[in-house]
Structure 1
Amino acid sequence: MQPAQAETVVSNTSSAAVDSNSGLCMGLKGNSTAAGTLVQAQSCNQSATQTWKYVRDSAGYYQVINSASGQCLDVPGATSAVDNNLQQWGCSGADNQRWNLSDQGNGQFALIAKANGLALTVYAGGTSNGTRIVQSTWSSTAQQRWKLPGATLNGSGPSSGAVLTLKGVDAGNCIGVAGNSTAAGAALQSQTCANTTFQQWKVVRDAAGDYTLTNVGSGQCMDVPGASTVGGAAIQQWGCSGADWQKWRFSEDGNGHYYLTAKSSGLSLDVAGASNASGAAIIQYRNLGQSNQQWTATAVSGSTGSTGGPVGFAAGVTGGQGGSVVTVTTPEQLKAALCGSQSNSTCTDNTPRIIRVSGSIDFRGTEGNKTEVGCTYSNNSCSVNGKSERILAVQSYCSGRSTYKITFDAAGKTPLLVGSNKTLIGVGANSGIKGKGLILRGGVSNIVIRNLSITDINDGVIWAGDAVTIDNASGVWIDHNYFARIGRQMIVTGWGTAKRVTISDNFFDGTTDYGHYCNGKHYWVMLLLAEDQTITLVGNRLHNTSGRSPETGKSDSAATGGIVHLVNNYYDGNYYFGLDGTPATAALLEGNYYGGGDYFFPILTDSTNDLVFAPLSANLTQANSSCSSILGRACVANSPNNLKQGATTDSFKLSAGVMSRIQATAGAAAAIKSIQPVAPASLPSRSTGPQASISN
């Protein structure tokens, strides 16, 4: 597992200091600016006397300077007396005005005086306006923990490269460009959310953790005019320069919202006058921890892009980021880079590493052939050009069938082990792996698989190899890959867990010389059976399939099959069924486009208890009563088109159990609502599979 990233307070930023126990803010008694004024806990308001600037010295200690008076938080006379009142005093740089801001997790800090080692404390845990603030021995109690909402950097901002809408918590409006202007200098506004490109922002993070925000509609950057440090200055768009006045820090408030603070001024994005009106100005202002300074960042579906990170359940997965970069061109190099050490068939290599596959690495023939007993498994023993689908005699698949020996390529049955903290990525649009798949098991985590063609694993021989297996693994992002001619599953989850998985923008090509129904369409596409799994399927193309797209379920011993979110996937040329729903796994389907097919059921439900929540335009109003209350946003209707030969929309159910499962699963609602689906009609024109532009 990746270690948690420590939170820090960024120097020269201004923020309220909020007591974690009472929710009161540190302010000045009587709002006085005089030296010697005592500090006290007060009901939070808009006063500058409750805002403090945090200035870090070379030794890592901070001066805490009141924004109204310009004076410093001070231990009177450098006393070590416990429960002594604290004050403000002219800044001198002495140790009794220097504080260690110690990260306590969950956005909370201890403020420990350098002079005596005592902690800033609300006396006796008081919750009344005017309670005095004292110094006392550190005991880790809530009244000694402080939130500094506008000054905290915790490293958990949005994925670099994502395209976001920024919706205000107070007004419920989105940040957009006035008049949809493309001109430099156009003002930013709080606008009624309309899902236009002028309300979408591409966020790119630099090595220091700061972001540039580029408007998708105009191509210009969010900008503080003239690098102003004045509170109330209006924010604009301007040509992107990479300067500090176009860099912003995302810091969380602990409730799934962000503050956005300008690097150049230390001031935070704010809706002027806390107005609820569409068209209100977006300004910068000292951070007061107010809801008109809090923003919900929602990823636009399909926005991962060439440098973007995962959306949905795998948001935050970084793979080998920060590790060495290795380029591999041979089977031996690839195997060693993916897993440098193993024990009992489990990879123990946790070293961060970015593995770049250059060209096609072909495992076929490298391990010889293997012969096992099997049987013909095509429906009614049919064939295409004399070729029938065959299956190895695993479990009871060949029960009652004539068996014979089947010879196949041995490499397909021995997938490559993948260790934790790895990124496996193809160089350009034509790199990949042939004849062997990947397996993630034994508790590995934080893995990225991108921009590869994974193909030709014993096509037509079931149980002779899968492309990607996830069996007791978490934090997995499978993105922009091409899967074709796989003997069994393109992606399969085993009986172990598969948590925080996102499968995005892949091209699942079922075109085959075999096919269970001898129609040139692959049946064995995705089998998702993990215990308590949380999986996002977004923006994928499923072409020429005839089943398991995906099939869900669980083992008999598992409590639940978890949650699968299918959003904005494009089905074309399909046969028989897409999703096979079950009572075990909760499936939420929204914004998917079904391009029709011969005898194709987008959803196959065998039981009235199947957990499927799949809105159509006809029942969207009913669906959104649940979507809005549980997810915090509306759902998007699925779009089934040109259904033929008896296929109906009856299986597009609104099972209440799906939303109940989402509500009861920690983090599920937040992961789902972080994706804003696009209109299904736009999906056929989107690019899926490997791209020349993807490089990390």
Structure 2
Amino acid sequence: MLSKSLILSLFASSVAAAGVTGTPFGFGAATTGGGDAEPVYPTTTEELTSYLTDDEARVIILNQEFNFIGTEGETTEDGCRPDSNTCPDDGGQDAINGADWCTNSDYPTVSVTYDKAAITPINVNSNKSIVGEGTKGVIRGKGLRFAGSENIIVQNIHITELNPQYIWGGDAITLAGTDLIWIDHVKTSLVGRQHIVAGYDPSNRVTISNTEIDGNTSWSASCDNHHYWALLLIGSGDTITFQGNYIHHTSGRSPKVGGTDSGTLLHAVNNYFYDNTGHAFSITADENGRVLAEGNVFESVTKPIEDGVDLLYAVTDDGAACSSPLGRTCQVNQLTSSGDWSGSATDFLSSFADEGVEAEVASGVAASVKSNAGVGKL
């Protein structure tokens, strides 16, 4: 069982902002979102978009589903069939020409028909809290993007159905040129591209907690009903706390970590990785992705880490290397029916000294995460 101290830190009963349960912690601890603004309750997709994009500090409560599918029409155009799609008649993913992906390849051209709403996420403005009630807060067919905005809380909402049949079909949550983000008790599912992406622009201080990345899909790049494009963390100088999350039925990028300049510093702690047919961590050393992974559970994960990574401390020993830089030992990770797990880099551990997060032993993590991660569990 997880200790009382960890439970209190993850599921605090105090209120950080109106409508928000608990308080942020880790690198995103200073996030306040919409603060004490009077909550608003949108009733249409237009009203929700208006609240998310205006210049006011907002606490936006979602007590219904917002279905964007069809609101911007459908289009048919040339896409392509990547080499990964060896099962076009049995659930593979063809690709929309996102970022000229098809144009700059030799992949054969195919016709693709997709919903346009998922391709253009809502550009959320600063100082917003977006909170779902119970399991009612669903956004269907449209993602959220934080670019040039900051201080945003997203809690207890489900983002789903973003052209899942197509690569480049849409991202659920995008961070680019932002700061102070807390993503908590969120669920993402049936996404064409990334569930969460922190792009090349700085995302700075971020906490992702108690969130469910559900990779179950009928269309997959790996042709096995497991989503490949899960988490892409490739910012510049980003510091990300990733704690208490449930990442399941994926086949890659769970997460991919890298970036430009000083890259991404990621603390992956007490997460549950389940049923991954490819790789979980992919760390791009030449892009300065640096990861401390402790107290995580890997169950039925073919490759917990891709080969050739040297900027990871994957705690497999007594964790004593953390004693000096962090003032405590780090917790060993637990692997069951999974591949090899290694990584002994410790030069960057002092970068976590002020994060204020501790790990619990891995033995109680799977049960706790399955009980607490995702929507409707506050």
- The normalised TM-score by structure 1 is 0.50
Structure 2 residue aligned with 1:587, among 291, 295, 307? Answer: 291
Could you tell me how far apart the structure 1 residues matched to 2:216 and 2:3 are? 37
1:314 equivalent to 2:28? Answer yes
Partner residue, 1:367: 72
Give CA deviations for 1:58-114 in whole Å, capped at 9, x if unaligned: xxxxxxxxxxxxxxxxxxxxxxxxxxxxxxxxxxxxxxxxxxxxxxxxxxxxxxxxx
Q: Unmatched 5+ residue regions in structure 1?
A: 1-194, 201-297, 341-348
Could you tell me how far apart the structure 2 residues matched to 1:582 and 1:369 are? 37
Per the alignment, in what secondary structure is the counterpart of residue 627 of structure 1? helix
Structure 2 residue aligned with 1:387, among 76, 91, 95? Answer: 91
1:578 equivalent to 2:271? Answer no
1:648 equivalent to 2:340? Answer yes
Partner residue, 1:480: 185
1:337 equivalent to 2:51? Answer yes
Q: Is the 8 A contact 1:378 1:518 kept in 2?
A: no
1:633 equivalent to 2:338? Answer no
Could you tell me how far apart the structure 2 residues matched to 1:639 and 1:448 are? 31
Could you tell me how far apart the structure 2 residues matched to 1:571 and 1:196 are? 20
* 1:429 Cα deviation from its structure 2 partner: 1.8
1:611 equivalent to 2:311? Answer yes
Partner residue, 1:681: 363
- Which aligned pairs between 1:544-563 and structure 2 lie closer than 5 A? 544-554=249-259, 558-563=260-265
Partner residue, 2:125: 419
The amino acid of 1:314's aligned partner reads G
Could you tell me how far apart the structure 1 residues matched to 2:313 and 2:329 are? 13
Could you tell me how far apart the structure 2 residues matched to 1:591 and 1:304 are? 21
* 1:380 Cα deviation from its structure 2 partner: 5.1
Give CA deviations for 1:371-391 in whole Å, capped at 9, x if unaligned: 3321123625224x6332011
The amino acid of 1:591's aligned partner reads G
Structure 1 residue aligned with 2:354, among 663, 667, 670? Answer: 670
- The normalised TM-score by structure 2 is 0.91
* 1:316 Cα deviation from its structure 2 partner: 2.2
- Which aligned pairs between 1:249-648 and structure 2 lie closer than 5 A? 302-304=10-12, 307-340=21-54, 349=55, 351-377=56-82, 379=84, 381-383=86-88, 386-393=90-97, 394-397=99-102, 399-442=105-148, 444-554=149-259, 558-583=260-285, 584-597=288-301, 600-607=302-309, 610-616=310-316, 619-620=317-318, 623-624=319-320, 626-643=321-338, 647-648=339-340
Structure number with bigger Rg: 1
Percent identity between matched residues is: 34
The amino acid of 2:340's aligned partner reads T
Could you tell me how far apart the structure 1 residues matched to 2:340 and 2:81 are? 32
Partner residue, 1:256: none
* 1:300 Cα deviation from its structure 2 partner: 5.8
Give CA deviations for 1:536-563 in whole Å, capped at 9, x if unaligned: 1100001100001100112xxx312130
The amino acid of 2:365's aligned partner reads L
Q: Is the 8 A contact 2:130 2:153 kept in 1?
A: yes
CA separation of 1:380/1:467 partners in 2, compared to 1, >3 Å: closer, same or farther?
Answer: closer
Q: Is the 8 A contact 1:613 1:658 kept in 2?
A: no
Q: Report the number of matched residues.
A: 364
Per the alignment, in what secondary structure is the counterpart of residue 316 of structure 1? coil
Could you tell me how far apart the structure 2 residues matched to 1:380 and 1:498 are? 32
RCO higher in 1 or 2 (8 Å CA, sep ≥ 6)?
2
* 1:364 Cα deviation from its structure 2 partner: 0.1
- Which aligned pairs between 1:32-71 and structure 2 lie closer than 5 A? none
Per the alignment, in what secondary structure is the counterpart of residue 656 of structure 1? coil
Could you tell me how far apart the structure 2 residues matched to 1:374 and 1:657 are? 44
* 1:405 Cα deviation from its structure 2 partner: 2.4
The amino acid of 1:630's aligned partner reads P
Q: Unmatched 5+ residue regions in structure 2?
A: 14-19
Could you tell me how far apart the structure 2 residues matched to 1:196 and 1:546 are? 31
The amino acid of 1:648's aligned partner reads D
CA separation of 1:461/1:404 partners in 2, compared to 1, >3 Å: closer, same or farther?
Answer: same
The amino acid of 1:680's aligned partner reads A
Could you tell me how far apart the structure 1 residues matched to 2:297 and 2:9 are? 14
Could you tell me how far apart the structure 1 residues matched to 2:40 and 2:134 are? 15
Per the alignment, in what secondary structure is the counterpart of residue 605 of structure 1? coil
